[in-house]
Amino acid sequence: MVYAIAFNTPSIIAWWTGILFIALSIVCIGFMFLLRGRDSFLKNRSQAIALKWQTTLNQVTVISKNEFRSKGQDVHRLTPNEKKNLLETLHEQGRFEPIDPIPNQELPDFLFLWNYLHETVFGESKDNLNSLANALDVNQNAGRMLQSRSLKNQILAINTLGNLREHTAYEQIERIMLGSDPIISLWAWRALFRIDFEKTLQKHLAKIALREDWSPAFVVKVLLELDSKLISLPLINLVEESYQNRLNERQLSRTISYLSITHLDLSKSLIHKILTESEEVEVIIACLRLVNSRKSLPRVRELLKSERWEIRLQVVQTIGRFGLKKDEKLLISALNDLDWWVRYRAATALIQMPSMSEERFEKLSTTLPNEFARDILHQVLAEIRLLCYVQPSSSILSR
Amino acid sequence: MLRSAIIEYIVQIVQSFYLGYFIILNGIYLALTIISLRVLPRFMQRQTIHKFPHTETGFEPPISLVVTAYNEEAVIVPTIKALLQLDYPEYEILIVNDGSKDNSLAVLTQEYALEALPMAFRQRIKHKPVKTVYQSKLHPNLRVIDKENGGSKADASNAGINGARYGLFMPLDADTILERDCLKLMVQPFMMNPHTVGVGGNVRILNGCEVRDGYLYETNLPKNWLALFQVLEYTRAFLSGRVGWNYFNALPLISGAFGLFQKEAVIEVGGYSHKSLGEDMDLVLRLHRHFRLRGKPYRIDFVVDPVCWTEAPETLSILKKQRVRWQRGLFDCLWENRQLLFHPRGGPVGWMSFPFLLFLEGISPIFESFGLLFFIACFSTGLVNGEGTISFLLLSFGTGFLLSISSILLEEITFRTYPKKKDLMMLLVAAFVENFGYRQLMSLWRLEGIIKWILRTESSWGTMTRNASWSATTPSQVPTLPPAMLETTAKEQLIKPEKVTT
C-alpha cells in the first residue's frame, strides 16, 4: 500500500510529545514509590520518637494530687506508689536534669507531641512541660525553625515559643503576625499574647478591629483564653476609639461583638451610646445583641419600626431577653410582621416570657385575627411541646 | 495529481488542528495540575493547626444539612445515623422526601418517631407543594419535609432551603457518607472570609469500601472496573481541576453531593433551577454571574480535606444515563449563563473557566470522536501511514495517561486514601487501561448528550439504582410497615397543607 502522507511534521510532533508524556508519567510513578518509601521511613521515625518520649511526657504531664481531688478526675491508671514517686520527683527537683539535646530531624515530631500535650493539660503540667523543653534547649531550636520554609515547621515553632513564653522570639513572631496569611498571623497573635500579655495588649489588640481576614470566632477563642478582668477595659476602649475614628461598618460591628466576652456592666453605657447614635445596620444589630440596660429599651422598641428585617429580628429577641410584661403587646404585634423569621422569633420570645402561660399562648394561637400570626404560634407551640418530649428536664412550659 | 495534493493538504490541516487542540486542552489540564501540585502541599502543611486538640472555637455558625431522598429506603436510615453523629457544635438534618413511592417515609417514621409539625412553611423559592413537615421526637435536630414529587433534585433541594433554619446549608444525597469532622473543615472559609457564598468539598467513590452504622470503616478500591475508572476521574476532577480553578476564584462547579452554601445568597439568585439537568453547576455559575456582574465582592471556595463518599454506577446502562445527563446539564448551564462568557466584568470565570468549559470540555467529545474516526479512516484508505496514525494515538494515550498519573501523584502527596501498595498498583493499571475503550466510550456518550441537548429531546433527572453493597444495613434489614398501617400513619399525620406567605 502506498500512503499519501508519510511521517509529516504534525505526526513527528505528536509522536515525540506522546513519548515525552509517557516518559513523564513513568518518572511520576517512580516518584510515587520513592515518596511511599520516604513516608514509611518518616512514619517509623515518628513512631519511634513517640515511643522514646512517651514515658517522659506522661510523667511530666501528670497533675498534682490536689488538682486531681479538686477536679474529681481519674488518675491515669497509675498505682498510688508510682504517682507518689513521680510527684515527689517533680516537686522536689522543680526542674529536670539536663538531657541530651534532640537531633534536628527529630525536632518537628517531638514538638508536635509536646504542643499537643500543652493544648490538653492545665496548670502545673504546663509548667512541667516547659521545664522539660528548657532542659532540652527547645527554645533555641524552635527559634531557628521560625525561619523555616516549611509552613508546618513554622506553625510548630510559633506555637512552641508562645507556650514557652520565649521573650527573645517576640519580635520575630511579631513580624510573622504582620504578614498576609490570615491563619498564620492569627496563630502568631495568640503566641504573642502568651509571651508578653501587657505588651501585646498595648501594641496589637487593635489588630482585631483592623484585620478583616481574621476569623472572628478564633479571635473570640483567643480572647477567652485571656483574663477577662484584664481584657475588658482595653476592649471597651478599643470599641470606643473605633467608633470615634469612624471605622467602617463591618469592622466596627465585629469589634463591638467582641464585647460579649467582657463584663457587660462595664460596656452598657458605650453600647447604649452607639445604639442611640448609629444608623448603620450591622452596628445596630451588634449592639442589640449585647444590650442589657433598661435605659436602652425605648430605642430598642423604636427600632421595631425599622425597614430592615434583620434589625426587627434582633429587636424581638432583645425584648424577649428582658421579658417585661408591658412588651407582650409589642411582641404580639411583631407576629404580624411580613418576615417569617421576625414572626418566628417573636413567637419564640413570647412563649418564653415569664408572664406567659401555655393556656394563654394556646388561646392566642386561635384568637389572633392574622392567619400568619396564628400559624407561627401553632408551630412554635408544637415545637416547644416536642422539645419537652425530647428533653423533659428542660421543659419551658413547666413554669 | 491536484486532487491528491488537495486531500493531502486537508489531511495535514486536520492533523495540525488536532495537534493544536490536544496541546491546548491538555496544556490547560496540566497547568491546573501544576498549580495543584504547588498549592496542595502548602495547604496540607497549614492544616497542621487542625491536628492540635481544641482548635474548634465553639462559635462556628450552625448548619442545615438538606438531604434529598427519592425512593431511598435502602440507604436513608444508615445515612441519617451517621449524620446524627457528626462532630459539629450545632446543626440540623432536614430530610426532603420527594414523593417517594417506596417505604421511605414509613421507615423514617418508625425509626425516628416522627410527629407532624404544623409548620408555617414559607416558600421563598418555588417548588412543588409540601404535604407535611415532621419532627423527630428522638432527635430535636431532625426534621422531615414530605412533599409532592417535583421530578428533579432541584425541586427537592429548594424545599429544603425554604425549610432550613440556619444561614448555611449543605445539600446532600441520601447515599452520601460524610467524614465526622467534615463540617468543621467545610465551614472554615466562611469564618475566614465573610464574603464566602459557597464552599465545595472533596467527593470520593464509596464502592468497595466497608461502611458500618453509616461510618466508613475500611477504605478499599472498588472491584468493579467501571467504578475503578470513576475513582480516577473523581481524583482528576477534584484534586487537580477544582484546586486549580479555585486558585483563580473561578471554580465552575461545587458537586451537588457535597457543598456548603450561604442560604441568603442562594435565595437571592433564585435557588436551584428546575430547568437545568446540571442544577449544581448552574447554581454555582449563577452565583458567579450574579456577584460578578453586579461588582459585589464574593468568594466561592474549594477545600480538599473534608471528604464525602458516594456510590458510583457499576453498570454500563446507568453510567451511560449519568454521563449523557451530565453533558446535557453542562450545556444547559452554559446556555443559561452565557452572559458570563467574555463579559468585561466576568473576571477569571468569564475569561477562563467558562470558555474552558464551553470550548474545550463541552465540545471535546465532538473533536475526540470525529478525530478518532478521521484517523482510522485515513489509515484504512491509505491517506496516512501506520506511523502517522500511531503517533497521534500515542499522543492521545500519553496525555490521558499523564493526567491520570499526575492526579494519583497528587493523591499520594496529600491524603493517600488507598494506603495499600496493591491498591496503588491497581490505580496505575486502571490509569493505563482506561485509555483503551473507557475514555472513547465516555466521549461517545457525551457526544450523545450534546446531540440530545441540541435536539431538545425529553429530559429527565433519571434515577440512580443504589445497591448499597457498602452498607452494613442491607435493604432487607430495613424495618417496613404493612401497607394498611402505612396508609393510616400518613392520614393521621397529615395535619396542615402547605402555606405560602407573601
- For the stretch A200-216, pLDDT in tens is 999 999 999 988 888 88
Judging contacts by C-beta atoms under 8 Å, the chain B residues touching residue A375 are 118, 120, 499
Model confidence at B484, pLDDT cuts 50, 70, 90, reads very low
pLDDT digits (tens, 9 = 90+) for A47-78: 888 887 777 777 677 644 444 344 444 444 44
Q: Averaged over A131-150, what is the pLDDT?
A: 84
A145-173 tens-digit pLDDT:
888 888 888 999 999 999 999 999 999 99
Counting residues of chain B whose pLDDT is more than 90, the rounded percentage is 42
The pLDDT score that the predictor gives to residue B367 is 86
Mean pLDDT of B294-302: 92
Residue A83 in this model has a pLDDT that exceeds 70: no
* Mutation target among B25, B30, B37, B48 for the A interface, most CBs of A within 10 A: B48
Which residues of chain B does A21 touch, with a Cβ-Cβ cutoff of 8 Å?
395, 398-399, 401-402
Q: Which of A98-102, B188-192, B338-342, B488-492 has the highest mean pLDDT?
A: B338-342
Mean confidence (pLDDT) of chain A: 83
For residue B501, what pLDDT band results from cuts at 50, 70 and 90?
very low
A217 and B191 within 8 Å at the Cβ level: the answer is yes
Residue pair B129/B498 in contact by the 8 Å Cβ criterion? yes
Interchain pair A21, B396: CB under 8 A:
no
Taking alpha carbons only, the member of A295, A355, A296 closest to residue A331 is: A355
> CA of B232 to nearest chain A CA: how many angstroms apart?
15
Within 69-108 of B, beta carbons closer than 8 Å to A belong to none
State residue A389's pLDDT score. 54
CA neighbours closer than 13 Å in the CB half-sphere of residue B55: 18
C-alpha torsion A208→A211→A217→A220, nearest 10? -10
User: Are B457 and B89 within 8 A, CB to CB?
Assistant: no
Extended strands (E) in B280-416: 299-310
Q: Please say if the pLDDT value at position A123 is more than 80.
A: no
B395: its cell numbers: 499522543
Q: Number of A:B CB contacts under 8 A?
A: 197
- The DSSP 8-state label assigned to residue B61 in this structure reads P
Q: At A143, is the secondary structure helix, strand, or coil?
A: helix
Are the beta carbons of A378 and B118 separated by less than 8 Å? Answer: yes
Q: Tell me the residues of chain A between 108 and 147 that have a Cβ less than 8 Å away from chain B.
A: 112, 115-116, 119-120
Chain B within 8 Å of A42 (Cβ-Cβ)? no
- Residues 473-502 on B with a CB inside 8 Å of A are 499, 501-502
CB A131 within 8 A of CB A116: no
Report CA-CA distances (Å) from B162 to B65, B94, B100, B169, B300.
12, 11, 20, 10, 22
- A293-340: pLDDT as tens digits: 899 999 999 999 999 998 999 999 999 999 999 899 999 999 999 888
Selecting from A6, A183, A376 the residue whose C-beta is nearest the C-beta of B46 gives A183
Residue B469: pLDDT band by 50, 70, 90 thresholds? low
**pLDDT at res. A350:** 92
Residue A27 CB neighbour total at 10 angstroms: 13
Q: How far is A353 from chain B (nearest CA, A)?
A: 22
Question: Which pLDDT score is estimated for A99?
Answer: 59
Residue A156 in contact with partner chain B when CB distance is under 8 A:
yes
Asked if B235 is an interface residue toward chain A (Cβ–Cβ < 8 A), one would say no
Looking at chain B, the whole-number percentage of residues with pLDDT higher than 70 is: 90
Please answer yes or no on whether B194 and A212 come within 8 Å at the CB atom. Answer: yes
In the prediction, which pLDDT does B376 show?
82
pLDDT at A88 exceeding the cut of 70 = no
What is each CA distance from A53 to A49, A58, A90, A109, in whole angstroms?
Answer: 6, 8, 17, 10
Nearest to A31 among B409, B501, B502 (CB): B409
DSSP letter at B125 equals: S
pLDDT for the residue A62? 64
pLDDT band at B270 (very low <50, low <70, confident <90, very high): very high
Query: Which residues in chain A have Cβ-Cβ distances shorter than 8 Å to B372?
Result: none
* Contacting B residues, span 41-70, partner chain A, CB-CB under 8 Å: 42, 45-46, 48-49, 51-54, 57-60
Q: What is d(CA A305, CA B144) in angstroms, rounded to the nearest whole number? A: 35
A104 or B487: which leads in pLDDT: A104
Contact B387 A24 (CB under 8 A): no
Closest chain B residue to A343 measured between Cα atoms?
A: B120
Q: Which three cell numbers stand for residue B467?
A: 445497591
Q: Minimal Cα distance from A121: which residue of B?
A: B53
CA distance A273 to chain B (A): 27
pLDDT at A15 over 80: yes
Above 90 in pLDDT, residue B485?
A: no
Give this prediction's pTM: 0.81
- Residue A178: CB atoms within 10 Å: 13
Does pLDDT of A349 surpass 60?
A: yes
Beta bridge partners of B178: B308
Alpha carbon distance A190, A210 (integer Å): 16
* Residues of chain A with C-beta less than 8 angstroms from the C-beta of B394: 14-15, 18-19, 22
**Taking CB atoms and an 8 Å limit, are A389 and B398 in contact across chains?**
no
Among A281-290, A386-395, B137-146, B244-253, the minimum mean pLDDT is found in: A386-395
Chain B residues in contact with A250 by the CB 8 A cut-off are: 194
Nearest-CA distance A257 → chain B (Å):
12
Task: Measure Cα distances from A236 to A91, A271, B84, B281 in Å.
Answer: 41, 10, 40, 46
Confidence of residue A5 (pLDDT cuts 50, 70, 90): low
Cβ atoms < 10 Å from Cβ of B464:
16
User: From the candidates A1, A28, A119, A211, which should be mutated to test the interface with B, based on the most B CB atoms within 10 A?
Assistant: A28
Note whether B421 contacts A: Cβ–Cβ < 8 A. yes
Q: Which of A12, A16, A32, A337 to mutate to test the interface with B (most CBs of B within 10 A)?
A: A32
Cα A187 to Cα A154: distance, rounded to the nearest angstrom: 11
Q: Which of B185, B195, B149, B151 is nearest to B63 (CA)?
A: B185
Handedness of CA A190, A196, A200, A201 (dihedral sign): positive
Rounded to a whole number of angstroms, the distance between the first and last alpha carbons of chain A is: 99
Strand partners for B199: B260, B301
Determine the distance in angstroms separating the CA of A293 from the nearest CA of chain B, rounded to an integer: 25
| Low-confidence winner among B76-85, B201-210, B211-220 (lowest mean pLDDT) | B211-220
**What pLDDT was estimated at residue A1?**
44
ipTM above 0.90 for this complex: no
Residue A397 has pLDDT above 90, yes or no: no
Facing residue for A14 by CB, picked from B118, B391, B421? B391
- pLDDT of B193 above 50: yes
Question: Which residue of chain B comes nearest to A251, CA vs CA?
Answer: B194
pLDDT of residue B97: 93
C-alpha cell at B479: 424495618
Query: Across-strand partners of B96?
Result: B68, B145
Rounded-to-integer distance, Cα B121 and Cα B133, Å: 9
Q: Of A312, A274, A269, A311, which Cα lies nearest the Cα of A294?
A: A269
**B274 interfaces chain A, CB cutoff of 8 Å:** no
The mean-pLDDT minimum among A127-136, A190-199, A221-230, B183-192 falls in A127-136
Interface probe with B: pick from A1, A5, A252, most Cβ of B within 10 Å? A5
**What pLDDT is attached to residue B49?**
79
- Predicted confidence at residue A361, as pLDDT, reads 87
Is A10 within 8 Å of B15 when comparing Cβ atoms?
Answer: yes
Cβ pair A221:B57 closer than 8 A: yes
Q: Among all chains, which residue has been given the C-alpha cell 467582657?
A: A262
